[in-house]
Structure 1
Amino acid sequence: MTLYNQINSLLLALFLLVMSSLVYFQFTETKAFMVDQMDSDLNNTVTSLSLMLKPHLETGDAATVDTLVNVIFEGGFYKQVTLSWLADNKQQQWKNEVSIQKVPQWFIDLDLFKAQSKEVTITSGWLQLATLKVVSNPAIGYRELWRIMNNTLMVLAILFLVCMVLLRLRLKRILKPLHEVAEHARDVSQRKFNPSMALPSTTELKEVVGAINSMSGQLKQVFSALDDEVESLKDDTLRDHVSHLPNRLYLTGQLNSWLNEPDIGALLIADLNWLDQLHSRYGYQMRDQTIKVLAKKFTKELPHADETLVARISNTEFAFLIRKADREQVLESLQSLIRLINQEMLNASFESNQDFAIGISERTNGVTRAELLSQADNALQKALNENKISNWFYVESEQDVSREGWREQLVKSINQNQFLFQWQPIQQCSDGEVIHREIYCRLEVDGKVIKAGQFMPYIERLTLGHRLDRCLLQAIAKEKLLDLNSEPIAVNLSRESVNNLDFHRWLKGYLSEVRSPEKLHFEMSESGITQNLDTCLQLCEIITMAGSKFGVDNCGRQMGSLTYLQQLKPHYIKLDMSLSCYNNEENEENQQNLELCRALVNIARGLNITAIITGIEDERHLQTIKPLRAEGYQGYIMPPVEITTA
């Protein structure tokens, strides 16, 4: 029960106690007064009637006696009058039926008043003339007592209602700060930090509000400090301090993550030797200023800038990781890059198309990070040696299917649900128990299994992501995969599904029909969330209202702030694979990634979010990340397996 209701109940009980006491006192006093009043009236009547009857009794005038008694008796205040003549034993009796008007029967049945009687002997000197007995009528007592109590209760009821209304209004005003404190505390528990509340006039409440404001401010500072710690770590270890672009270490992590996901694209390495000449002519300040200008143009003016990672990896070298792009799009980005470099060279009074070179290496199936870097560097060295502006590193690969061919095949596969499913467990760091299982799909064409890495890039480029997600969710329901294990199943939603309002409506209907929606988890990539936060919040609300949970995939991949976690409040986050501490990496990179992971885990714990570290390769790797106190892990230590149904 709320404090407001408790105070209301207490005051109501006290008020009813006082009212009951007043009613009881009024009732007993009125009853006693009416009894005394009827007794007094009876005495007066008997005395006056005996005096009036005396002379007529002496003469034996019975007619006059009858008339005088009737005058008094017809007033209705008496139930019975009996006159006994002593001379001849003659008896006269007058009776009046008791009739009580405007009084409920239940009140009469209480038998509050007894009929009173008074008997006197009328004498003349020493001679006894008659005996007079008068019995009172209790109707007057019931009528008057009912009228008085009715009026009393009506007045008290009106007074009670007025007092209760005034009391509720006053209590609401007095307790309003407490209600605000409760809402403020609830928001703080959900990691929402609103402006400080105004201090109320009540001394006790002022102390409570002040304490809540102080606590909220301190918690906000703690979470801000954690976020600032991550930002500081990223700036110190992953960002080039001249260009403010990511450095080689960040590029290395992103390559690890990118190559472990289905995608297409290329890595470009540009060596701008003319920057050293600029340094020789005008000094390091002019060179650094030019690098900053180039960095801004590279990040804003290149085609597909949202999917292009630009990094400064050495004094004069820049790397361009172009994701989700085929060869034509990579060529478009290359031409734009050459144009931007030439424009800046002309601005610095250098001749265009000289003193710089670019090496390009396209991503191929199974290529490793070291191989991709080596291929791009070999292409760069060949361009420098042959005095070319750019050079491609070509790898023999089969390119059987065109874009339209992929469209036709993928649409057909989605319509006919030709996908094969695997899942991979996410396990607890403490005991290895499975938290949930992430589901993956492969494509079967003419008896040949095609991995997701080959067709998923085309799913996104052809805007078929929401259709594939529907197909996957329908297959989960149709094949009753939720019933195979007690653990939930996680589905990774495409970026298109996050933005597609039609998919939102479809998912709401789908979840309303699923038998166990609490066993479905949905994952969204960090980049998809930060670029469409409002739309993502709507989708997450649909998921939460249905009883399902959602998480953030690739958390920590972006260089920006993590404040979106406070708004989104996901149930779990999966740290990006670029932060993994592989056993074959350099010790410096291991230590830096460990510190970044530790900071991200601390932020998640502070926000009551489950943290899952990805990319765990083996038991040795697992022991490396256990001190971070993350709740779960995922990786090749427990690879995806086929889903077997009964």
Structure 2
Amino acid sequence: MSLFKQMAIMLSLFLGIILISVMILNFKSATEFVQNQLYTDAKNTAHSLGLSLSKVADPSDTSSMETMINAIYDSGYYQRIRLVDVEGKEIYTRENDVRVIDVPQWFIQWVPIQNATATSDIMIGWSRFGTLEVSGHTGNAYRQLYSTLIDLSQTFLMIGAVVFGLLYLLLSLSLKSLKRIRDQAKAIIDNEFIIEKKIPFTTEFRSVTVAMNAMVEKVRDIFERENETLRRYHELLYKDAETKLNNRCYLTAKLPDYLQSDASLSSGVYVMVSIDEIDRLKREKGYERYSKLITHLAEEMNAQVGPFHHALIARLNESDFFAALPSCDTSSVVHQIEKLLLNVKTVIEGIDSTVSEYLVIGSAVGTYSEKDTLKSLFSRADHTVTQAKLRGNFLIEIDQEKEDSLILRREEWRNELLQSLNESRMLLAFQSAVEQRAGELSIIHEEIFLRLLDREGTIHSAGYFIPVATSLGLIDTLDRYMVEKVIKHVKEQNTMTPLALNLSGDFVKKYANIQWLRSHLELFSRQSDLKLWFEVSNTTAIHELEAVSTIASMIKMFGYHFGIDHFTIPESGAHYLQAIRPDYVKANSAYLQDMMFDDTTGKSRESFHNVVRSLGISIIAINIEEPQEVEKLKELGIERFQGTYIAPVSLL
């Protein structure tokens, strides 16, 4: 029971007892007054009427006496007026039964009133004539008391309503600050840091609010400092000091996420720019001119290929630059690289025209797919850029690797994808994510993937068609199909293992899709107790923060889990995690080892743990391909894993 209810009940009982006690005492006093008044009226009437009867000249003239008695009886409230002689013989009597028609019977039974009878001796001359008895009428007393009760009840109800209204208002105002303190504490649990600006006037609440504000500021300061430490370590580990581009270490940690067979970024175009004789340039022309050339080349890389969606640009070494451009084709990239080389040539001629006599710059442009590995992709890029430099200076060599996934034209792809949905040739596959603790292995969820069964019976991974579906604007249609098919599978198979569904950025950023998902989850949650897990990519979480926060809140409202796939901390830091508040993140094994393996100070590992796990986020290491990776990650405190070594992708 809330404090407000407890205080309201306690004060209500206290005030109620006081009001009822006062009302009972007042009513009791009124009853005694009416009882006394009844006797007083009877006594006064008996004396005054007796005196009048004593003045009758003829004692035998009872008719005059009767007239006087009738006059008094008819003009007052009396039950009986009786005249008897000295021997007790009745001379005259007026009497009426007590009947009260405007007072409820329960009141008459609840409030007993004793009728009062007064007597007066009748003296005619010096002789005693008889005795006059007068009994009051209790009906009038009951009417007065009942009217008094009604008035008291109305008065006390009005007073009670006013008092309880003021009590509610005062309690609400007093406890409003306590509610804000509660909301502040709940916000800390939800990884939000709220400083309460309104300081309550109540001394106890004021001290609690001040203490809570101090604690929130301290927690927020810890988070900010750890986040800044982690951001700086991230920059030191993954940034090239000269150009501020990503370095080779970041590329090798991040590019496997692009090459994932089930990632929408798994096919596209790569670009490699290489410079020969860079050491000679530094030696003969000095470091300043070398730095000017390298800085300009980095700026041109950002200017020409940076605008491509999800572009990944890195400096491999002193003389080589590399970029991965998902969901692109070579024709759309070559023109930009031609502009890049032309601008670099202009800069070189501006530095020193003799430099171009020995400085050779070449570029390779080709495609990559989910079938590539880091080794094979870099090998092809090195070979292609070498061919470009052998043919001459400032030339581009096109890698003629066959683009299997783009054999079909766009309309043919559209028809094929839509028909595969109608014909249920879009299959579900899964890969288990496990938790290994104290030597025991348990499945935490199974991540769902889409597979395309073509008309020849060949099953293709998502990397074969997802990039094309993305460019055709069909990716959210595939997401809806996946959700519906998973729900249908759960109903038919009555599976007990949680299933994880990865939602695309196109699906998340459309409000209609979120409403559609809400309606399906409402129906599903009423029919099944199975907990679903939903994920978005780290890139989607960063660029569609508001939409992702909305869908994350909605999913957690149903009691389901929400996570971020392919997690890496961006240059701006981990603040976006506070807005989304995911239950878990999935990060590449190589990335986790880079961020958490710090033999010198252990500071990066501590900061990573403080930033991620202090927000209540669990970590799942993905792309596990070797048993040695599991052992290294377990030493770093990671207990959840997913990858081909753990479990291969299988059809559901």
Is 1:539 the counterpart of 2:551? The answer is yes
- Map of 2:337 onto structure 1: 334
SS of residue matched to 2:246: coil
Determine the structure 2 residue equivalent to 1:628: 636
The separation in 2 between residues aligned to 1:440 and 1:256, in whole angstroms, is 17
Do the aligned partners of residues 23 and 398 (structure 1) sit closer, same or farther apart at CA in structure 2, a change above 3 Å counting? closer
Deviation readout 1:574-594 (Å, 9 max, x if unpaired): 113551549xxxx998979x9
Distance in structure 2 (CA, Å) of the matches to 1:524 and 1:133: 102
Question: Which residue is 2:424 aligned to?
Answer: 417
| In the alignment, structure 1 residue 46 sits paired with structure 2 residue 46 | yes
**How many Å separate the matches in 2 of 1:334 and 1:233?**
32
Alignment of 1:497-646 (within 5 A): 497-514=507-524, 515-516=527-528, 519-556=531-568, 558-579=570-591, 581=593, 599-630=607-638, 632-643=640-651
1:427 to 434, 442, 446: 434
Q: Which amino acid aligns with 1:321?
A: A
Per-residue deviation at 1:209?
0.8
**1:455 counterpart (453, 465, 476):** 465
Match of 1:6 in 2: 6
1:355 match: 360
User: Quick one: structure 1 residues 443 and 12, their matched pair in 2 at CA, closer, same or farther if it must change by over 3 Å?
Assistant: same
Kindly provide the amino acid, as one letter, of the partner of residue 502 in structure 2: N
**CA deviation after TM superposition for structure 1 residue 355, in Å:** 2.8
Equivalent residue of 1:522, what SS?
strand
Residue 486 (str. 1) matches residue 496 (str. 2): yes
The answer on whether the counterparts of 2:259 and 2:369 sit within 8 Å (CA) in structure 1 is no
Partner of 2:409: 403
Alpha-carbon contact 1:361-1:393 (below 8 Å) kept? yes
- CA 1:511 to 1:231, structure 2 compared with 1: closer, same or farther past 3 Å? same
- Contact kept in structure 2, 1:612 and 1:634, CA below 8 Å: yes
Q: Note if contact 1:302-1:336 (Cα within 8 Å) is conserved in structure 2.
A: no
Separation in 2, partners of 1:560, 1:516: 40
Query: 2:377 maps to what in 1?
Result: 372
Give the Cα separation in 2 of the matches to 1:591 and 1:495.
Answer: 38
Kept in 2, the 8 Å contact 1:518–1:547? The answer is: no
User: Is contact 1:492-1:523 (8 Å) kept?
Assistant: yes
Instruction: Supply the AA of the counterpart residue of 1:142.
Output: Y
| Cα distance change of structure 1 residues 334 and 414 upon mapping to structure 2, 3 Å threshold | farther
CA-CA distance at 1:502 after TM superposition: 4.1
Please report how far the alpha carbon of residue 352 of structure 1 lies from its aligned counterpart in structure 2 after TM superposition: 6.7
| 1:210 Cα deviation from its structure 2 partner | 0.3
Cα 1:458–1:177 shift into 2, 3 Å: same
Q: Is the 8 A contact 2:367 2:403 kept in 1?
A: no
Residues 397-428 of structure 1 show CA distances to partners (whole Å, capped at 9, x for unaligned) of 76782333434432322232212322111112
Question: What is the Cα deviation at residue 635 of structure 1?
Answer: 1.1
**Structure 2 CA distance for partners of 1:129 and 1:17, relative to 1, 3 Å:** same
Alpha-carbon offset, residue 231 of structure 1 = 0.7
Q: Aligned residues, how many?
A: 639
In structure 2, what is the Cα distance between the partners aligned to 1:288 and 1:416? Answer: 59
Kept after mapping to 2: 8 A contact 1:482/1:489: no
For residue 505 of structure 2, what is the aligned residue in structure 1?
A: 495
1:316 aligned partner, one-letter code: S
Distance 1:33 1:196, change over 3 A: closer
Aligned equivalent of 1:67: 67
Which residue of the partner structure matches residue 192 of structure 1?
192
Which of 286, 295, 302 is equivalent to 2:305? 302
The whole-number CA distance in structure 2 between the counterparts of 1:100 and 1:91 is 29
One-letter code aligned to 1:616? I
Distance 2:508 2:481 in 1: 16
Structure 2 gaps of 5+ residues are: none
Per the alignment, residue 271 of structure 2 pairs with 268
Q: 1:357 & 1:310 partners in 2: Cα distance?
A: 17
| Cα distance per residue 1:503-523 (max 9 Å; x no partner) | 334333433443338533221
TM superposition score normalised by structure 2 = 0.88
Q: How far did 1:302 drift?
A: 2.1
Structure 1: which amino acid aligns with 2:458? K
Aligned letter for 2:287?
Y
- Write the letter of the residue equivalent to 2:453: E
Of stretches 162-171 and 234-243 in structure 1, the one that deviates more from structure 2 is: 162-171
CA displacement at 1:643 relative to structure 2: 4.1
Deviations 1:9-46 (A, max 9, x none): 22222211111111111111111122222222222322
CA offsets, 1:228-255, max 9 Å, x none? 2321221121111221111111111123
Deviation at 1:291, TM superposition (A): 3.5
The alpha-carbon distance between structure 1 residues 535 and 274, as it changes in their structure 2 partners (threshold 3 A), is: farther
More moved, 520-529 vs 632-641: 632-641
User: Is the 1:616–1:634 Cα contact (8 Å) retained in structure 2?
Assistant: yes
In structure 2, do the counterparts of structure 1 residues 210 and 293 end up closer, same or farther at CA, with 3 Å as the change threshold? farther
In 2, the alpha carbon distance for the partners of 1:554 and 1:11 equals 57
Q: For structure 1, which segment, 405-414 or 12-21, has the greater mean C-alpha deviation from structure 2 after superposition?
A: 405-414
Matched letter for residue 471 of structure 1: Y
Does the CA-based 8 Å contact 1:601-1:611 persist in structure 2?
Answer: no
Give the structure 2 partner of residue 316 of structure 1.
319
Question: Counterpart amino acid of 2:409?
Answer: R
Cα distance between partner residues in 1 of 2:66 and 2:396: 143
2:169 aligned with 1:169, yes or no? yes
SS of residue paired to 1:155: helix
Deviations 1:348-376 (A, max 9, x none): 35477953223455435633212222332
Cα–Cα, structure 1 residues 339 and 462, in superposed 2: closer, same or farther, change >3 Å? farther
Q: Report if the CA contact (8 A) 2:596-2:605 is conserved.
A: no
Residues 123/321 of structure 1: CA separation in 2 closer, same or farther (3 Å cut): same
C-alpha displacement of 1:465: 0.9
Task: Name the CA shift for 1:65/1:475 in 2 (closer, same or farther; >3 Å).
Answer: same
1:517·1:547 contact (CA, 8 Å) conserved in 2? no
Give the equivalent residue in structure 2 for 1:464.
Answer: 474
Q: Percent identity?
A: 24
Deviations 1:193-229 (A, max 9, x none): 2344232332222101101111111121222233223
Deviation at 1:393, TM superposition (A): 5.0
How far, CA to CA, are the matches of 1:483 and 1:111 in structure 2? 74
The 1:175/1:289 distance shift into structure 2, 3 A limit, reads: farther
Task: Report deviation, 1:567.
Answer: 0.7
Given that 2:388 and 2:397 are in contact with CA atoms closer than 8 Å, whether structure 1 keeps it comes out as: yes
Residues 154 and 451 of structure 1: is their aligned pair in 2 closer, same or farther, counting only changes over 3 Å? closer
1:9-408 counterparts in 2 under 5 A?
9-56=9-56, 59-86=59-86, 89=89, 91-100=91-100, 102-123=102-123, 127-262=127-262, 263-273=266-276, 279-280=282-283, 283-285=286-288, 287-302=290-305, 304-350=307-353, 355-360=360-365, 362-363=367-368, 366-388=371-393, 389-395=395-401, 401-404=407-410, 405-408=412-415
Distance 1:520 1:365, change over 3 A: closer
Q: 1: CA distance between counterparts of 2:491 and 2:133?
A: 100
AA aligned to 1:486 is M
Distance 2:157 2:494 in 1: 65
Distance 1:620 1:254 in 2: 20
Please tell me whether the aligned partners of residues 239 and 247 of structure 2 are also in contact (alpha carbons under 8 angstroms): yes
1:469 offset after TM fit, Å? 1.6
2: CA distance between counterparts of 1:631 and 1:112? 83
Whole-angstrom distance in 1 between the partners of 2:333 and 2:546:
31
- Structure 1 position 612, deviation (Å): 1.2
- Ranges in structure 1 where 5+ consecutive residues have no aligned partner: none
Letter in 1 for 2:378: L
What is the SS of the residue equivalent to 2:98? coil
SS in 1 for 2:348: helix
Matching residue's letter, 2:261: E
